[in-house]
Amino acid sequence: MREAAEAASAPILEISGARATIRLNRPKHLNRLQSEDLGDLMRLFDRIEADPAIRVLVLTGTGRAFSAGYDLNSVADRATSEKEQQSAGSAFEVVVNRLEDLGVPTICRLNGGVYGGATDLALACDFRIGVDTAEMFMPAARLGLHYYKSGIARYVSRLGVDNAKTLFLTAQKITAPEMLRIGYLTSMVPVEALDEEVDRLAAILAGNAPLAMRGMKRAINEFARGKLDEEAADRRHRESMRSAEIKEGIKAFAEKRPPKF
């Protein structure tokens, strides 16, 4: 991916065929998210969700870091009451949860370090491909911040109780090999191989049956939360057995060709 050296801006959407890319674009501040970026991200997610031609989303950053997270100083400066502070903080949580619930499969292209709330933003993606020089840390305990509950739940369900405690309670930085070991990274690659690996996975996801993937992604996320909608999952399973997707999939398998969904 070519990363233009351009002025800081709101997140940028790029669409190429079946792939959409959202690029965080405040490189001088390590792509730290401002409060105004949150509404922009929600609108981009809605646009992607509404376009049936888009089969996969890649989330990445400009420059040497993926993101330094959410700008807590801007929350403190703008919020003069407890109610406003809660609203500002919950707005970020809403964005992360919306990303996790997107129907299309999502890949976080971790072009560098990931810090604070951005660690949860990346964790909300289905896959995380990172460079071998990446690092991460969650400084909540050092800042005196009790993290929001859905973020803690995501850490526990994705990384396990012990790893979640280590990351949240020690607030220590870990490197890419450790991120891979604990399951934070799906794969780790040299920087020169990052785009090739992202492209490879994006092509696989874009070529699979979109309705089947959407339904299974939803079920997997619900299982992880301990809140499976069994009736809806059973209904999606039954519908898939008589869908146009399964007919094409079986036909393509018999004809030894890639399916065309």
- CATH code for position 185: 3.90.226.10
Residues 6+ apart with CB under 8 A from 179: 130, 134, 135, 136, 185, 188
In a domain, 2, yes or no: no
Mean pLDDT, the chain, whole residue set: 93
- Round to whole Å and give the CA distance between 13 and 21: 6
pLDDT at 5: 47
Region 50-69: mean pLDDT is 97
Same domain, 159 and 183: yes
In a domain, 121, yes or no: yes
Enter the pTM of the model: 0.92
Q: How many CA atoms lie within 13 A of 199 on its CB side?
A: 8
| Least confident span in 24-33, 64-73, 179-188, 218-227 | 64-73
In a domain, 198, yes or no: yes
Same domain, 216 and 201: no
Range of the domain at 85: 12-205
Strand-by-strand arrangement of the 174-175 sheet: 65-67, 113-115, 135-137, 174-175
Same domain, 230 and 133: no
In a domain, 103, yes or no: yes
In a domain, 128, yes or no: yes
Region 71-78: mean pLDDT is 62
The 3-class secondary structure across 247-259, one letter per residue, is HHHHHHHHCCCCC
Quick one: which of 119, 115, 92, 126 has its CA closest to 204?
A: 126
Length of the chain: 261
In a domain, 259, yes or no: no
In a domain, 4, yes or no: no
Region 204-232: mean pLDDT is 97
Same domain, 28 and 139: yes
Same domain, 184 and 78: yes
Region 205-212: mean pLDDT is 97
Region 53-76: mean pLDDT is 89
In a domain, 3, yes or no: no
Same domain, 45 and 150: yes
pLDDT in tens, 241-259: 999 999 999 999 999 999 9
For β-strands 19-24 and 65-67, DSSP reports them as unpaired
Same domain, 126 and 244: no
Number of domains in the chain: 2
Of residues 144 and 78, the one with the higher pLDDT is: 144
Whether the per-residue pLDDT at 203 is higher than 80: the answer is yes
Residues 6+ apart with CB under 8 A from 234: none
Same domain, 127 and 193: yes
- Round to whole Å and give the CA distance between 117 and 93: 9
